[in-house]
Amino acid sequence: MALDLSIIADNAGLFAKGAVATVYISLAAIAAGLLIAFPVALLRLSPRRVMSWPAMAYVELFRNIPFIVMLSLFFYGLPFFGLRLQPMTTGIVALALFGSAYFAEIVRGAILSVPRGQMESARAIGMSYLRALREIIFPQMLRFFIPAATNTSISLVKESAVLATLSVAELTYQGLIVQGQTYAPFEVFLATAAIYWGLTALLAAGFRASERRLGGQGRRGFSSRHRLAARYLSLEPEPRS
């Protein structure tokens, strides 16, 4: 069978509207998620159980419950607490909190990746805890933080598709609408997927640019000393001699 591209062209407006909404939702959730992640990570790192335990429970809750279930909990649960939000807002809040749990673990790992002595020296020369974090720890943890945070950001863009179940007019929802009108699921979902692919590729490209600026070492190749074993242990093309 041939792909009927006119279906995509005829509905380009809906796809574009959906893509814009998906970008808006994802960016809002990523920004809010990052903001929430820092205090959660700091609490999680606290030596005091009363502080670290709730932060750990928060992270585990969001990481172990499927987002589609979480979203529906927010949708039906928030009104119980007197919060009546638009489905779009509910979706962004849920996605941001979901993301914050993953971001918090990355922040925690990134802070732990900086040698202890850095914080101890900073405190020893009289910096406050927060100032040491800001001026000594944060700049050093970026190398660890940015690649992992990019992956989570990409996950959030993909996870935002689930908002379609609340009839939020984002990309997947528009895809379902176009599919309902045209009965051409193959073309429609392939086009939808292609747009997501483009969006996530854009994010990944932005990350690579920032990695170059920070002087990351990139992907390391398989040592040429072990060319024999590389027949089995490396999936990259053989290095030229």
Interacting residues with another protein (CB under 8 A): 1, 60-61, 64-70, 72-73, 76-77, 80, 154, 158-162, 164-165, 172, 175, 179, 184-186, 189-190, 192-193, 196-197, 200-201, 204, 222-223, 226, 228-238
Q: Are the beta carbons of 152 and 142 closer than 8 angstroms?
A: no
Cβ of residue 143: shortest distance to another protein, in angstroms?
18
**Where would I find the H helices in the chain?**
6-10, 12-45, 49-64, 67-77, 87-113, 116-124, 129-132, 138-159, 171-182, 185-214, 227-233
Cβ of residue 94: shortest distance to another protein, in angstroms?
12
Residue closest to 172 by CA, chosen among 183, 180, 160: 160
Cβ of residue 86: shortest distance to another protein, in angstroms?
18
**Other CB atoms within 10 A of residue 152 CB:** 20
Q: Which is nearer to another protein, 22 or 100 (CB)?
A: 22
Q: Which is nearer to another protein, 100 or 179 (CB)?
A: 179
Residue-by-residue DSSP string for 158-190: HHGGGGGGGT--SHHHHHHHHHHHH--HHHHHH
**Other CB atoms within 10 A of residue 97 CB:** 19
Q: Are the beta carbons of 132 and 122 closer than 8 angstroms?
A: yes
Cβ of residue 13: shortest distance to another protein, in angstroms?
20
Cβ of residue 76: shortest distance to another protein, in angstroms?
4
Q: Which is nearer to another protein, 132 or 173 (CB)?
A: 173
